[in-house]
Amino acid sequence: MPSFGKSDRSLSFVLRVDDNQNAADALYDAGIIQLTRNDIADM
């Protein structure tokens, strides 16, 4: 089940997928910014 969070300017969500690279490529192609573990830890 996905998790969601939002602020006034952004929406964050977490997805579980079977193929990380395929999902990362699809998100990149759609212009969706992907956060790294470090990005999340700095929040």
pLDDT score for 6: 64
pLDDT in tens, 4-27: 666 677 777 788 899 999 999 999
Q: The dihedral of CA 41, 21, 12, 34: what is its sign?
A: positive
User: H-helix or E-strand containing 14?
Assistant: strand 11-14
Parse the chain into domains and list their residue ranges.
Answer: 16-43
Distance in angstroms (rounded) separating the CA atoms of residues 43 and 28 = 21
The Cα–Cα gap between 22 and 6 comes to 25
Distance CA 34, CA 12 (A): 9
**Stated pTM of the model:** 0.59
**What pLDDT sits at residue 13?**
79
CB-CB contact of 13 with 4 (8 Å) = yes
